[in-house]
């Protein structure tokens, strides 16, 4: 699908800002590719809304461009605009109470996932070749799974977040989406640089007992994807180690994220009387109430959990579900969407708490909608992980 095809059928992926001239290099490793930027990143000539109309009014036109965006421009990529985001990046539904819901290009009757909703929508609807997003608790991986895209959450700190609105400093990461494995790898090579701890050329792949957390229909839907990966990588061994409690990990994630989110944005919310969507407002209120004791216990658990997962993972690559199911329908009740978010965070939180890179591969579907499967590796192995994902994707397409 090209841009002309969707102009008469607006996907609401991009913010309706007046177009601004954003220069890019005529040559470079990303020449010929176009991209969108999640509206958390500053771009000279544009405001930055963070998904909230009051923040948009306060923003003004930015005079500087976030270094990560500039790196893409300098590599020859052309920016088409700024993509919608869930409000203040504190939601995973893709629905924004102020600006609406971007269309899921792979499953239009279903939510796109968030908070990088517009970025995933822009790529899945063919508006651009790739898009920048952020992933704190799953905000790249979830929409990548829901919209049938390749998506990366990098090792924590691997890609610069300078010039990007924060949510949770110890968990925020800059990731991206692409439809094609070759494009996905080209963008990764531009943004990641060389790995500090490369994988072996043929790393051992292990399937996780985490598959057992999925509904039976989702497990069945992932069987062909596992078979594709096994053929491309000459086998997948069983991952038999016992996981630390994922329920405890979920609550540690919630407490740390909630407290840090309030620290990052609470003063702005109170001082300027931000009107927030009900779901986002409830999360900030909850985060404000996290006690020092809860935070200390969660932080201590995170350290233990990280050590345990590092020891289990070693030099292996873990094959695991990205989320538990396909995207809920657009008309789903809020309670259904929140339940899906909670279940997903039990899986998504592993990479978050451990600071590990994770890649979603669009290799499966259920009921006509995408269902992602992921590769997870040790810190600093991001580029090797993306190259492995691209090789698997190319073998499936071939």
The phi, psi pair for 339, rounded to 5°, reads -65, -45
The two beta strands, 317-321 and 369-376, are: antiparallel
Active centre residues (catalytic): 38, 115, 139
CB 371 within 8 A of CB 218: yes
- Distance separating alpha carbons of residues 348 and 173, to the nearest angstrom: 13
């Amino acid at each position: 699908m090209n841009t002309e095809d969707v102009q008469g059928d607006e996907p609401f992926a991009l913010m309706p800002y007046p177009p601004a001239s954003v220069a890019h290099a005529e040559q470079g490793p990303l020449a010929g590719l176009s991209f969108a930027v999640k509206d958390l990143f500053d771009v000279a000539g544009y405001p930055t809304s963070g998904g909230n109309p009051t923040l948009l009014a306060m923003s003004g036109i930015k005079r500087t461009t976030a270094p990560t965006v500039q790196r893409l421009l300098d590599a020859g990529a052309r920016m088409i605009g700024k993509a919608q985001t869930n409000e203040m990046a504190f939601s995973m539904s893709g629905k924004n109470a102020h600006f609406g819901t971007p269309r899921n290009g792979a499953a239009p009757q279903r939510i796109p996932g968030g908070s990088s909703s517009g970025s995933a929508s822009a790529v899945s609807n063919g508006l651009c070749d790739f898009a920048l997003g952020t992933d704190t608790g799953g905000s790249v991986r979830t929409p990548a799974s829901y919209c049938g895209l390749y998506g990366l959450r990098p090792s924590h700190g691997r890609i610069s977040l300078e010039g990007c609105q924060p949510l949770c400093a110890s968990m925020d990461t800059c990731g991206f989406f692409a439809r094609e494995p070759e494009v996905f790898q080209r963008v990764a090579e531009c943004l990641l640089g060389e790995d500090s701890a490369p994988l072996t050329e043929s790393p051992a792949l292990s399937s996780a007992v985490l598959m057992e957390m999925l509904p039976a229909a989702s497990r069945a839907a992932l069987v062909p994807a596992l078979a594709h990966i096994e053929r491309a990588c000459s086998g997948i061994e069983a991952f038999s180690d016992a996981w630390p409690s994922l329920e405890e990990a979920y609550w540690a994630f919630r407490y740390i994220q909630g407290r840090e989110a309030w620290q990052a944005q609470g003063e702005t919310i109170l001082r300027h009387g931000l009107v927030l969507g009900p779901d986002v407002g409830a999360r900030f209120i909850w985060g404000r109430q996290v006690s020092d004791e809860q935070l200390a216990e969660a932080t201590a658990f995170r350290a233990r959990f990280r050590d345990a997962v590092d020891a289990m993972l070693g030099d292996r690559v873990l094959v695991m579900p990205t989320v538990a199911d396909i995207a809920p329908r657009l008309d789903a009740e809020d309670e259904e969407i929140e339940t899906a978010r909670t279940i997903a965070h039990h899986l998504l939180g592993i990479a978050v708490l451990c600071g590990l890179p994770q890649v979603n591969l669009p290799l499966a579907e259920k009921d006509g909608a995408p269902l992602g499967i992921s590769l997870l590796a040790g810190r600093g192995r991001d580029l090797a992980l993306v190259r492995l994902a691209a090789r698997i994707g190319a073998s499936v397409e071939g």
